[in-house]
Amino acid sequence: MINFQYLRTTTSKSALNLISKDKNSKFLAGGTNLIDLMKRGVTSPEKLIDINHVPLKQIEAVGDQIIIGALASNTAVAEHALIKEKLPLLAMALNAGASAQLRNVATVGGNMMQRTRCGYFYDTEMPCNKRQPGSGCGAIGGFNRMHAIFGTSDQCIAVHPSDMCIALVALDATVVLSNAKGERKVLFKDFHRLPGDTPQLDNNLKADEMIVRLEIPNNNLNKNSYYLKVRDRASYAFALVSVGAALELSDNKIKDVRLAMGGVAHKPWRLTAAENFLKGKEASAENFEQAAKLAMTDAKGFGENNFKLQMAPNSIIEALTVAKSKA
Amino acid sequence: MEKRLIKDENDRVDGIFKVTGKAKYFAEYELPGLTYGVLVTSTITKGRITSLDTRAAEKAPGVISVVSHLNKPSAPAYEQEGGSAMKIFYTDKIFYNGQPIAIVVANTFERATYAASLVKATYTKDAFNTDFEKAVGDAQAKKLQGQPDYKRGIENAYQTAEVKVEEKYHLPIETHNPMELHGIIADWRTNNQVVVYAKTQGVKATQGTIANVFKIPIENIQVNSEFVGGGFGMALRTWPVEIATVMASRQIGKPVKLVLTRMQMFTMVGNRPAAVQTIGLGAKKDGTLTGITHRAFGETSVYENFTEGVVNMAKFMYQCDNVNTQYTVVPVDLGVPIWMRGPGEATGAFALESAIDEMAHALDMDPLEFRIKNDPEKDQQRDKPFSDKNIKEAYRVGAQKIGWSERKNKPGSLVDGQWKMGYGVSIGVFNANRGRASVKGILKADGSLVLQSATSDIGPGTGTGMTLIASRVLKIPAGKIKFELGDSSLPQAPSQGGSATLSTVGSAVNDVCVALKSTVAELAANSNMDATANFADVLKKNNLPSIEVTKQSQAGKERDEYSMYSFSIHFVKVKVHSLTGVVKVDKIVSVGDSGTIVSPKTARSQMVGGAVGGVGMALTEESIIDHRFGRYINNNFADYHVPVNADIPEIEVHFINKPDPYINPMGAKGMGEIALIGFSAAVANAVFNATGKRIRTLPITPDKILAS
């Protein structure tokens, strides 16, 4: 059998100590993705460091920020009164993800760390540059209905599967990372990577680091926000396209706006150009359409996913319209 | 004493066992010395194995044996030439990607899994094609007649009709995916005695297949399959991997358990075959059908042929003097398909019932009215009257329940914001079968009754139905009756398939109970007891601990005189989102016209299950292959989408519930298939009514709505 060591720790300090000693170690939180990957032979860590008992589950308002511990469960965050009131977009995105059973054990940090659901990545008999650099990309020229239309490379067109991360990138979250020496902060939008020539790297977390918490600035976007997830069935399916939309309206004028998309890129895809266009304008159907058009600049289909070139702008319009219509 | 939670005579007799975990499925049996088999599968699609290196696996901890074509034990049937079934481990040929090439047996499942990863095969590779649609379009590709061509009246009469519709419909591969994974426990004991715990729709069929392959007496084989966690047709045969497990047990002299992985469920235990169909319909302007042409291509494998009843329905379902059909099967380099619920008829009904809707639209007629206008008086194919058919009543009831009067004939008329609403209808039909079965009845002096037959219950509620039949004949409370099944030593019954079990085995139950009743009546008369004396008293008076009767029952000449079918009408209301293309089924009404309803609760569950399967067929289910590699790409439950609760709306089920006067003593006909047949077309028709978009390729996913 492929043996591995299972260690359990109750403090961040000892967790970081353990991970720094062994490059082929992995943290185990909810395990909803990592265990699958181990079963499929995609990854074979020598050590699993169970951090479920490390006290990083806080969900609290501190100053003008909301702090969420990396080990808070997806359910705990989605159900928390503070989140529902101040960050409804995040609650909606979380509830759109996975199934209730998975959300109960999946953590915030684990959600950020989940790997693509590209079928070629999971089948070790298939080519995949992300799993085995240099082996080729099965999805290019293959089954790419679920794949990216933005930020692709000729190495990889996989998408990041998270819903939660779409809300977090829209909400200007900051990720706090820690290693044995101390903490550093990374903007959420810079945490995940585009594939480029290194599709094996999903994000900028270093081998000796762990995610400890998120810091999300307060905002006035909570009244008019909506997470739209378009998928093949109503639950337990990854997004064909998803849109996180949040508006701060003054009368019908857009004071602030956040837009991000899922199911379209190797990382949570923030629609900055569309946001900039909408700021200060009327929240009108015409402007939403213009914004959606702007958001699609540089989009590129790979055959089976060409429908996303239409579904994505349509979904932006729909998400903005629903967000606006909220009382 | 078990506490009953719900006091209802109609309760599923094994319901409490199922929901409390007491029902024991094949994989849960613990035999002394049990070992675990894990399959090694081919990673190429076509060719030959040139070498198989099993040394590392054999040396791995806990491994007992690696069985393959290099060292397989004797299976005499496979040593003979000919025969069509895949001779597992008796060939070095690879017919499809994921074909089992060895089974690793170890003392734990984990060790067997690891050792299986150490087996290394090398191959010579041949060119292959797994793309069914490509093979259909390729003039050079092999094509075989799947069924004799059928012609009534003028061939292709639709072409010259006043109004004509000719369209092509596409179905992908669907995979049964019952919740319970397939597998077997095989225990080859001394003196060639074999005990098997199987997941099978036919214990006698499994017994017969094993006897035949290994050429051992059938009495040597005991097959147990008391509970089955869903089959949908995929457990209607004994698959090569089951034979491989029996071989492994024979070789090592210990019981071996094999449970497939979910991924393996896609490759080695069948699928609903892909199909391409063309329907041509002709009608007069007044809506009279004047021509039906149904041409179908179905997928099959290169190593075994598979055919089903794709074009059956076109021959009799509508009043029409000119009908011709053609059914061709096209081999591709994939595992052989098998019947999946509703089998070929469900495939055919998607095309035919979509086309009927298209014709109604072309005629600017209400599709319900169009169907009623062309409802057949008799079966024109067999030139016989129907034994029982209440379609018009079923249309009326269903239409009222779904709110058909709200429907507008012009597509896109009902709008609520971005949602467009529509209604669809379709018909399902399946042969009302009745086979031959035997049942033994044991009436005991304590007033209880045991019934025995080697049938199966893959979920429809067979035990419940049989219990209720007996209860009504003998006037014994259902709680005092036990129906035993899933054991090959019991009296003969056919496999559970083709919606025939209730009709077939139920008739034998009826006959046994009638016989028991008259035996008791005789005893009562002989002992000067009142004819109304209860059974227990009569037996006690006669000092009999029990009486036993075994009866065989089968259909008679009524099947030559009448055409016997079960029917269903499906009504569906959908809403379709204009911007995202998402289809939501808003309401379902299914009406069953299948004779007497013996067991209302389980019958309703059958119809509900069929509707859920129908939503899957219509909107979500598709097994996707990367044809460059010949491998499935969505072979797991996250990516192969069966509907979830959130996809399923209120389902209303209604039964006509009138006895068929001819089919069997109960007047009851099967319903497993009709619950699904036609359903997908009702959804497609509703989508058209909502949007004006006609989707002729299943499943109807949001991208297809946006693209059309």
pLDDT of B49-85, one tens digit each?
Answer: 999 999 999 999 999 999 999 999 999 999 988 777 7
User: Does the complex come out with an ipTM higher than 0.90?
Assistant: yes
Main-chain phi, psi angles of B423, to 5 degrees: -120, 145
Q: Is residue B239 domain-shared with residue B101, that is, in the same domain?
A: yes
Asked if residues A53 and A8 have their Cβ atoms less than 8 Å apart, the reply is yes
Domain boundary among B246, B266, B286: B266
CB contact under 8 Å between A123 and B631, yes or no, is yes
Average pLDDT on B124-151 reads 98
A226 touches chain B (CB under 8 A): no
Asked if residues A51 and A28 have their Cβ atoms less than 8 Å apart, the reply is yes
CB contact under 8 Å between B633 and A237, yes or no, is no
Q: Is residue B223 domain-shared with residue B305, that is, in the same domain?
A: no
Q: Is residue B207 domain-shared with residue B246, that is, in the same domain?
A: yes
State how far the Cα of A93 lies from the Cα of A242, in Å rounded to an integer. Answer: 9
Asked if residues B371 and B293 have their Cβ atoms less than 8 Å apart, the reply is no
Average pLDDT on B302-330 reads 98
Residue A89 lies in a domain: no
Catalytic annotation, residues of B: 673
B400 touches chain A (CB under 8 A): no
In Å, how far is B111's CA from the nearest CA of chain A?
6
Mean per-residue pLDDT over chain B, rounded: 96
Q: Is residue B343 domain-shared with residue B397, that is, in the same domain?
A: yes
Whether residue B3 has pLDDT greater than 70:
no
Asked if residues B635 and B623 have their Cβ atoms less than 8 Å apart, the reply is yes
**Chain A CB contacts of B579 below 8 Å:** 314-315, 317-318
**Chain B CB contacts of A143 below 8 Å:** 624, 626, 633-634
Q: Tell me the residues of chain B between 414 and 453 that have a Cβ less than 8 Å away from chain A.
A: 418
pLDDT of B5-16, one tens digit each?
Answer: 555 778 899 999
Show the domain range for A277: 224-325
The domain that holds B194 is classified in CATH as 3.90.1170.50
Q: Is residue B544 domain-shared with residue B602, that is, in the same domain?
A: no
- The pLDDT-based confidence of A113 (bands split at 50, 70, 90) is very high
Q: Is residue B496 domain-shared with residue B579, that is, in the same domain?
A: no
Q: Is residue B212 domain-shared with residue B68, that is, in the same domain?
A: yes
Cα maximum dimension of chain A: 65
The domain that holds B569 is classified in CATH as 3.30.365.10
State how far the Cα of B589 lies from the Cα of B679, in Å rounded to an integer. Answer: 10
Q: How many residues does chain B have?
A: 708
Residue B138 lies in a domain: no
Q: Is residue B287 domain-shared with residue B321, that is, in the same domain?
A: yes
Sign, CA dihedral B14-B17-B19-B21, equals negative
SS3 content of chain B, % helix, strand, coil (to 5): 30, 25, 45
Half-sphere exposure of B261 (CA within 13 A, CB side): 17
Report how far Cα B508 is from the mean position of its chain's Cα atoms: 23
pLDDT of B563-574, one tens digit each?
Answer: 999 999 999 999
pLDDT exceeding 70 applies to what percent of chain B? 99
Residue A133 lies in a domain: no
Residue B297 lies in a domain: yes
Q: Is residue B530 domain-shared with residue B633, that is, in the same domain?
A: no
Residue A251 gets the label, from left (phi > 0), alpha (psi -120 to 50) or beta, of: left
CB contact under 8 Å between A119 and B634, yes or no, is yes
Show the domain range for B359: 275-433+561-707
pLDDT given for residue B1 in this prediction: 42
Residue A238 lies in a domain: yes
State how far the Cα of B333 lies from the Cα of B349, in Å rounded to an integer. Answer: 26
pLDDT of B428-487, one tens digit each?
Answer: 999 999 999 999 999 999 999 999 999 999 999 999 999 999 999 999 999 999 999 999
Q: Which residue has the tokens 């209440």?
A: B390
In Å, how far is A79's CA from the nearest CA of chain B?
20
The structural domain count of chain B equals 3
Burial of B648 (0-12, 13-18, 19+ CB in 10 A): middle
Whether residue B27 has pLDDT greater than 80:
yes
The domain that holds A316 is classified in CATH as 3.30.390.50
Domain boundary among B529, B554, B579: B554
CB contact under 8 Å between B579 and A315, yes or no, is yes
pLDDT given for residue B335 in this prediction: 98
State how far the Cα of B352 lies from the Cα of B371, in Å rounded to an integer. Answer: 12
Residue B581 lies in a domain: yes
Residue B159 lies in a domain: no
pLDDT exceeding 70 applies to what percent of chain A? 100
Asked if residues B176 and B202 have their Cβ atoms less than 8 Å apart, the reply is no
pLDDT of B84-114, one tens digit each?
Answer: 779 999 999 999 999 999 999 999 999 999 9
Residue A184 lies in a domain: no
The domain that holds A26 is classified in CATH as 3.30.43.10
pLDDT given for residue B648 in this prediction: 98
- The pLDDT-based confidence of B530 (bands split at 50, 70, 90) is confident
Average pLDDT on B505-510 reads 98
**Chain A CB contacts of B582 below 8 Å:** 230-231
- The pLDDT-based confidence of A144 (bands split at 50, 70, 90) is very high
Q: Is residue B428 domain-shared with residue B443, that is, in the same domain?
A: no
Q: Is residue B494 domain-shared with residue B620, that is, in the same domain?
A: no
Asked if residues A154 and A168 have their Cβ atoms less than 8 Å apart, the reply is no
Residue A48 lies in a domain: yes
Q: Is residue B186 domain-shared with residue B52, that is, in the same domain?
A: yes
∠B249-B250-B255 over CA atoms, to 5°? 30
Asked if residues A259 and A291 have their Cβ atoms less than 8 Å apart, the reply is yes
State how far the Cα of B551 lies from the Cα of B26, in Å rounded to an integer. Answer: 29
Domain boundary among B501, B523, B554: B554
Nearest to B466 by CA among B204, B679, B666, B174: B666
pLDDT of A48-85, one tens digit each?
Answer: 999 999 999 999 999 999 999 999 999 999 999 999 99
Asked if residues A186 and A175 have their Cβ atoms less than 8 Å apart, the reply is yes
Residue A162 lies in a domain: no
Residue A91 lies in a domain: no
CB contact under 8 Å between B644 and A125, yes or no, is no
The structural domain count of chain A equals 2
Strands (E), B45-91: 47-53, 63-68
CB contact under 8 Å between A237 and B707, yes or no, is no
pLDDT of A7-25, one tens digit each?
Answer: 999 999 999 999 988 889 9
**Chain B CB contacts of A141 below 8 Å:** 628
List all residues 6 or more positions away from B549 whose beta carbon is below 8 Å from its beta carbon: B440, B441, B512, B515, B516, B519
Q: How many residues does chain A have?
A: 327
Residue B565 lies in a domain: yes
